[in-house]
Amino acid sequence: MKKLPDGCVDLIFADPPYNLQLGGDLTRPDNSRVDGVDDEWDKFDSFRAYDEFTRNWLTEARRILKPDGAIWVIGSYHNIFRVGTAIQDTGFWILNDVIWRKSNPMPNFRGTRLTNAHETLIWAAKSQKSKYTFNYRALKTSNDDLQMRSDWEFPICTGSERIKGEDGNKTHPTQKPESLLFRILIGSTKPGDVVLDPFFGSGTTGAAAKYLGRHFIGLERDKTYIKAAKARIAKVKPLDDESLITQPSPKAAARVPFGTVIEHKLLKPGAKLYSPRKNHAAQVRADGSLYVKEGDNEIQGSIHKVGAAVQNAAACNGWTYWHYEEKTGLKPIDFLRDKIRKGMAS
Amino acid sequence: MKKLPDGCVDLIFADPPYNLQLGGDLTRPDNSRVDGVDDEWDKFDSFRAYDEFTRNWLTEARRILKPDGAIWVIGSYHNIFRVGTAIQDTGFWILNDVIWRKSNPMPNFRGTRLTNAHETLIWAAKSQKSKYTFNYRALKTSNDDLQMRSDWEFPICTGSERIKGEDGNKTHPTQKPESLLFRILIGSTKPGDVVLDPFFGSGTTGAAAKYLGRHFIGLERDKTYIKAAKARIAKVKPLDDESLITQPSPKAAARVPFGTVIEHKLLKPGAKLYSPRKNHAAQVRADGSLYVKEGDNEIQGSIHKVGAAVQNAAACNGWTYWHYEEKTGLKPIDFLRDKIRKGMAS
DNA sequence: TGCTAGCGTGAATCCACCC
DNA sequence: TGGGTGGATTCACGCTAGC
């Protein structure tokens, strides 16, 4: 990185080590072992050591950037706050933080915390005065003519996109999806721009850059990664100039869990719900569970579980089974979900 | 804040200011006045002052927390990286970062950046050792029986919930939605817990806490805000106790050793237990141990140890692994434990 | 060839209590 | 306080084997 001249690249994308601090082994409920990140390159002695590492590469990165250049950095809660602080301290000007919402994250197997379902990206210009590249129209068009938001949904990198060695194991533990890099490059570079990735890894940045007609420089220490990245990028066929348009992904209806209905106060805790024929009644609790007492039998759980239990059925769609009382009669709680979907609830 | 004693609150929710006007003119370390023309110095001093402010209140917050207490802090990219770094440096242990996805964010009118459609929350325990409160079941139930993720969608605070002055203008610039606080309190406090909000503002924390049967302490300098918050909270009607019961964790249930099942004669010594696919069989002994003989291999021990051994697994939950035979087919012995817990066994 | 059930796996700071 | 043990704990999706 030190060998590169001042002001020679338009954009930097960086996926630095996250400084994860994992304990012992983690197993899934089926006793299989989770293959975590235990590589040497992710080990730092302290926050201070990580901060020094971060400031060093960010300072070099800023030197190499053109005056109107910009940087993207990705991370998780383990490191992103330290990276963000260093970005501000080294003179970059933050433009947005962007959330990559994973459509298929790994669950929290022990039920000890929330499912870690996102990663954070920081987009920053070299300085407050930089006239950074932002292809507003392109992103808006690809988003069904709505302004592109700061939260992006993509699946994690799996299947045939994921690079595997001869042994069938993943070559790189943290390969990023190309779709993520596509959007970044489409939104913040022009064709012909030079993109630098100082933590090249499996070469996702290079593959996306070549595909989209951008030049790239990739820096990487590990020879296995370099070899895999070279082979991968060699296979990429650049798009012709006219095809550099992204396709919007059709979105399914937003999922609205029952707890949301209570959080919106469309139903209050303590409210009564009824089965269609009113032969079963349940009480709503603050946490979004239902409670039924019939004789000596007490049941509690989700609207679906409790609905199934009172009917002695294997499964039940609580949204259509449970009803609330209105002047005009019973209405299914699905009606309330619909209100939220349509934005009719404040 | 300095007046509160050590270790007196269970949870802290903080929405710190991120404007850099912290009162008084900024001065350099050498006491010379900051010249507004010198951007770099200005920026540096601003960040330094903000960091000092942040570290001060976080240190006090940590002192006031009980050993097993936790903190939530909300912010945007202007300040959250500095806050997150300070949280780590003052000894808190980050549990999750959570994204509040705004369903109706303010658009970016000039089209110069992405629509800023989210804010970031950090959830951290007082220390790595803290046994923080996490109502896993409650959140999972309210999320239609799926683990709660780290990205939450709520609308911004508008309409009748938004507090307005006599002039019709909003009283507080960044009033948070009660639904957000609702989920935080349901997920990470118990009824009767004490919640502190050191930047009380319009009192959303107090309103949600009172509604959910939690005590609260609110700190605020601005008299207008105090008055508005008091009036607001006075109107809140607390929920009744029954609605506040949340889905209990199985861990909280009384422990029933396997021997008890035999003592209750729900299983007799000598009875046979089977694995789910009936490929392993074990014999129940009077002392509550199991015995398995497969070829020359003899295994004995607890239901868990023997279950793990026959599967060659590191661990096993014997209650769900071993089944007994009934007319209708195999049933897990967990069913018998449930009978005892419910007092249905003689 | 087509469909399905079952298996594998992903940047993870992943247990609690008793003695 | 450290070791032993009871026993709680998973979502989405791609691939494969089998019918």
Nucleotide nearest to B320 (CA to C1'): D7
C-beta of residue B265 within 8 angstroms of C-beta of residue B288: no
CA–CA min distance A263, chain B (Å) = 5
Chain B residues in contact with A145 (beta carbon < 8 A): none
Are residues B84 and A87, on separate chains, in Cβ contact within 8 Å?
no
Mean pLDDT confidence for A13-32: 95
H-assigned helices in A264-343: 303-310, 318-321, 334-341
CA–CA min distance B226, chain A (Å) = 24
Q: Which residue has the higher pLDDT, A2 or A151?
A: A151
AA letter at B112: T
C-beta of residue A283 within 8 angstroms of C-beta of residue A255: no
Are residues B117 and A305, on separate chains, in Cβ contact within 8 Å?
no
Average pLDDT of chain A to the nearest whole number: 93
What secondary structure does DSSP assign to B301-326, as a single string?
Answer: E-HHHHHHHHHT-S---HHHH-EEEE
Protein-to-nucleotide distance from the CA of A159 to the C1' of D19, whole angstroms: 25
**Tokens describing residue B124:** 């951290």
Measured to protein CB atoms, the chain D nucleotides within 7 Å are 5-15
For residue range A147-196, list pLDDT tens digits in order. Answer: 999 999 999 999 999 999 999 999 999 999 999 999 999 999 999 999 99
pLDDT band at A241 (very low <50, low <70, confident <90, very high): low
CB proximity B249–strand D (7 Å threshold):
yes
Are residues A84 and B84, on separate chains, in Cβ contact within 8 Å?
yes
Q: What is the pLDDT of residue A250?
A: 39
Measured to protein CB atoms, the chain C nucleotides within 7 Å are 8-17
Instruction: Identify the residue whose tokens are 């579980």.
Output: A305
A-interface mutation test, from B114, B115, B132, B145, most A Cβ less than 10 A away: B114
Dist. CA B181–CA B170, nearest whole Å: 20
3-state secondary structure (DSSP) of residue A119: strand
Instruction: Please determine, for residue A207, whether its predicted confidence score (pLDDT) is greater than 70.
Output: yes
Distances from the Cα of A245 to the Cα of A131, A186, B83, angstroms? 23, 8, 39
Secondary element (H or E) of residue B254: none
Q: What is the pLDDT of residue A242?
A: 56
Q: Burial level of B298, CB count in 10 A (0-12/13-18/19+)? A: exposed
B-interface mutation test, from A50, A81, A120, most B Cβ less than 10 A away: A81
* Smallest CA–CA distance from B79 into chain A, residue: A85
Nucleotide nearest to B255 (CA to C1'): D6
Cβ-Cβ contacts under 8 Å between A and B: the total is 222
Q: What is the pLDDT of residue A245?
A: 44
For residue range A263-299, list pLDDT tens digits in order. Answer: 999 999 999 999 999 999 999 999 999 999 999 889 9
**Which one of B89, B142, B150 has the shortest CB-CB distance to A258?**
B142
For residue range A24-43, list pLDDT tens digits in order. Answer: 899 999 999 999 999 999 99
Nucleotide nearest to B313 (CA to C1'): D7
Q: What is the pLDDT of residue A319?
A: 95
Q: Hey, which residues 45-84 in chain A have their CB within 8 Å of chain B?
A: 47, 76-78, 80-84
What's the distance, Cα to Cα, between the start and end of chain B in Å?
56
**Tokens describing residue B98:** 């959570």
Chain A residues in contact with B239 (beta carbon < 8 A): 268-270, 286
Distances from the Cα of B169 to the Cα of B164, B165, B174, angstroms? 5, 6, 13
Q: Name the residue closest to the C1' of C11 by its CA.
A: A174
What secondary structure does DSSP assign to B170-194, as a single string?
Answer: BSSTTPPPHHHHHHHHHHH--TT-E
Cβ of residue A286 closer than 8 Å to a chain B Cβ: yes
Q: What is the pLDDT of residue B36?
A: 44
Cβ of residue A97 closer than 8 Å to a chain B Cβ: yes
For residue range A49-77, list pLDDT tens digits in order. Answer: 999 999 999 999 999 999 999 999 999 99
Q: Which residue stretches of chain B have pLDDT < 70?
A: 19-44, 345-346
Chain A residues in contact with B193 (beta carbon < 8 A): none
- Residue in B156, B4, B126 with CA at minimum distance from that of residue B58: B126
AA letter at B20: L
Cβ of residue A156 closer than 8 Å to a chain B Cβ: no
Instruction: Identify the residue whose tokens are 């059709």.
Output: A250
Chain A residues in contact with B134 (beta carbon < 8 A): 112-113
For residue range B44-54, list pLDDT tens digits in order. Answer: 678 999 999 99
